[in-house]
Amino acid sequence: MTLEEQDKQYVLQTYARDYTNFVRGVGSTLYDDKGKEYIDFASGIGVNSIGHGNEKLSNAICEQAKNIIHISNLQVIEPQVKLAQKIVELSGYDMGIFFANSGAEANEGAIKIARKYGETTFDKKRYKVITLEHSFHGRTITTVKATGQESFHTPNFAPYPDGFSYEKSIAEVYQAIDDETVAVLIELVQGEGGVQPFEKEEIQKLAIHLKNKDILLIVDEVQTGVYRTGEFLASNLYEIEPDIVTLAKGLGGGVPIGAVMTKHKEVLHAGDHGSTFGGNYLSTVAGLAVLDVLKPMYDAGSIEETILYFSKKLKKIATTYENIFEKEVGLGLMRGLRAKSAALQGDIIKKSMDEGLVVLKAGRNTVRFLPSITISKNEIDEGFKRFEKAIASL
């Protein structure tokens, strides 16, 4: 039985899989079971923030695994405390952190904090959360409902929790606020929604308005966080201070971890929320190792240098192939090229894979690029060389 046949027999078929079998990775280069080499411009959908086979990360994981992988949160976990402190210090916000295992769980935690805040702070309960069209916040029943894409709200999983509404733009959020609104949940760059950033000024204006109304601003940084947009948080780049921030993806460098951080540290009490695995020894040691790699790079200016180099290459592709792409989009190392049709988008992703380059699909016909933050210039050069070869025939 082939690997594909095994997969189809024993694994639930919830993914439209490509059956390339990767067996090894070094930096931003992957190797399949036939020895073919691929440049990785996807990093596991923004997870492998410091690439594959990073020595600092793998050593930290191995050393921790020899001692303790997991105990429950009924005891204090030293690396969890240290990672929380590190994240808070890097964010520049006075916040407390709850650790989970994924972005969806982090967003669930954010919604729970907002709901309890709305229950305990006001004379009349507030519970409604406004999100935006094209947003994506997770795959649980609640975070699917928080996602502003009708295609996710199929009758198959109904009924969904109420209290969520979606607006077409930031401008429409103001009109949607009523006396039951407790929070606005946004991504500063909509990843699944087409790598679409919002204007800094409109976000700053919204943040001020919400603060004046005692409405919480929740920023979903599951994809934008941990230096993906150049700063530690996209919120730092936008120069705002949210009430709640969620993180996941790149924080563990490949080890599952999620985090919800809030300045309303007094809202949740013992027993209000919990997680068996969240913030265990293995995941938080991995998180500390990732930040130990990225923080010095940020301080030295090398992350900004990589962003500028990648951007220059992307811009050249966009201007050279105006017959294929409408425009380039995104921020930092969260980028996209908007193809002129869904068919073109699909062809580009497939042909890129054939040429030994891994890229991603996103909404609005966008070819998405999420390279590791540690990607080398040589790997960027080689990746774009292969990408150009893939699209030349189109």
pLDDT in tens, 287-310: 999 999 999 999 999 999 999 999
How much is the average pLDDT of 316-344? Answer: 96
For residue 289, the number of C-alpha atoms closer than 13 Å in the C-beta half-sphere is 26
How much is the average pLDDT of 250-266? Answer: 98
Nearest to 360 by CA among 117, 6, 16, 98: 16
Residue 30 has a pLDDT of: 98
Residue 355 has a pLDDT of: 97
Query: For residue 173, is pLDDT > 90?
Result: yes
Q: What global pTM score does this model have? A: 0.97
How much is the average pLDDT of 347-358? Answer: 97
Domains of the chain: 23-53+301-372 (3.90.1150.10), 56-299 (3.40.640.10)
Structure confidence by residue, pLDDT tens digits, 124-160: 999 999 999 999 999 999 999 999 999 999 999 999 9
Distances (CA, A) of 235 to 65, 219, 363: 34, 8, 23
CA angle (289, 292, 295) in 5-degree steps: 140
How much is the average pLDDT of 242-251? Answer: 98
Task: Assign 258 a pLDDT band (cuts: 50, 70, 90).
Answer: very high
Query: For residue 393, is pLDDT > 90?
Result: no
How much is the average pLDDT of 337-350? Answer: 96
How much is the average pLDDT of 230-250? Answer: 98
Cα–Cα distance for residue pair 232/108, rounded to 1 Å: 22
Residue 394 has a pLDDT of: 83
Cα–Cα distance for residue pair 349/11, rounded to 1 Å: 24
Which three-class secondary structure state does DSSP give residue 10? helix
Cα–Cα distance for residue pair 195/197, rounded to 1 Å: 7
